[in-house]
Amino acid sequence: MSRFPHHAALELLAEQKQFDACRMVAEKMIADQMAPPSVDQGLPAEAMLQRWQDRDLELAHLHLILSRCLFGLHEYQAAATNADMARLLARTAGEFSLYAEACHLAGACQGQAGNLNTAAERFTDCLQHATGLLRAKALYNRGHVYERQGAYGYAVPDYEEALQLAGGLDRRLERSAMTNLAWDLIMLKQFERAEELLERLETAPDAQADAVLRAQIAHDKLHIAHLQGQHRQAFQQIVQALRRTDQAFPHVRARVALTTMSLAADLGLHEEACVVGLVAKRLASQAQRPDLDDEASRLLHDLEAEAGTDCVVQSLQRARQLLPGVIKTGRGKKSGGVA
């Protein structure tokens, strides 16, 4: 049960994502609490001190709820300010579990605002007192900050500890930590360890139902093969991944193809990117998803500008050979007619 039962309605608004209403109520409650506690001349000093601490603790909780609402409204800097107020008040009141929670939220806000150094500091503050799942989340998020900064060597131990702590508590966090850890190991050229993690991810019971995860695995395998100079082998792995994707859901296959296409283009594999882009366009058309078709067209247009129209035209023939069930010969739009 919450230490502040009269905050229950406010917390419910936040949980239900009624952020505007939550913000309005929280700001009113904070304003009401800002007045100093009433002074009773006959009250012992210890009792008066307790009143101040109780007020600070309630204000800390209110600022924390308000910060969550502002985060939900994408007002990250204002959310960070309120989270910082919550952590300072909680520390003053000696409530370190609330302090750790506020530090974690402050780190998330600063990360979203792009203030990565401050975000890392807040997650480090959180780790001084956090336990259990909150500690796992703080490690994961600090690792993600380090990763965004390109500090892969610092990110790896954070992801490793988060992976250990999350096991059995939060499958989604466990899987995310494993995915990010694999990528950072690839960036550090520790391919054997990365491949072991990718194998664990790929054979997990929930992997087949998650198209995003399969696309990420395909990404990482392509990158490993590219760094090892095995470009053609990498492309064959992608083709196999596309074939394994559930054919009953062409929009899922289109997403896998688009993600793969982007990475292939980034790696300079222009012909492979064109092939997979054409596959993505056909799948998007089958799925009646103009948004995916437009995304594929945009990426192909960029490739055409960089690699030349001939690359796109020649890639259509290759796509028909590799994936005849997806790219069909016959009348239709010209392959080079990128919108």
Residues 126-153 have pLDDT tens digits of 999 999 999 999 999 999 999 999 999 9
Asked if residue 312 belongs to a domain, the reply is yes
Asked if residue 235 belongs to a domain, the reply is yes
Per-residue pLDDT at 145: 96
- From residue 251, give the alpha-carbon distance in Å to each of 246, 255, 286, 292, 327: 10, 6, 8, 8, 15
Per-residue pLDDT at 146: 96
Asked if residue 50 belongs to a domain, the reply is no
Asked if residue 105 belongs to a domain, the reply is no
Per-residue pLDDT at 333: 32
Asked if residue 339 belongs to a domain, the reply is yes
Per-residue pLDDT at 238: 64
Rounded Cα gap, residues 16 and 29, in angstroms: 19
Domain CATH code at residue 323:
1.25.40
Asked if residue 86 belongs to a domain, the reply is no
Nearest to 323 by CA among 260, 229, 231, 262: 260
Domain carrying residue 339: 208-339
Percent of the chain with pLDDT over 90: 44
Q: Count Cα neighbours of 127 within 13 Å in the Cβ-side half-sphere.
A: 19
Per-residue pLDDT at 95: 92
Crossing angle for the helix pair 231-244 and 270-286, to the nearest 10 degrees: 10
Per-residue pLDDT at 313: 62
Asked if residue 172 belongs to a domain, the reply is no
Structure tokens at 28: 């009113």
Amino acid at site 6? H
The pTM assigned to this predicted structure is 0.72
Asked if residue 301 belongs to a domain, the reply is yes
Nearest to 179 by CA among 154, 205, 149, 202: 202
Kindly give, in sequence order, each residue whose CB lies less than 8 Å from that of residue 272, ignoring residues fewer than 6 positions away. Answer: 231, 235, 238, 264
Per-residue pLDDT at 332: 33
Flag residues of the chain having pLDDT under 50. Answer: 1, 248, 325-339
Rounded Cα gap, residues 279 and 309, in angstroms: 17
Q: How many domains does the chain have?
A: 1
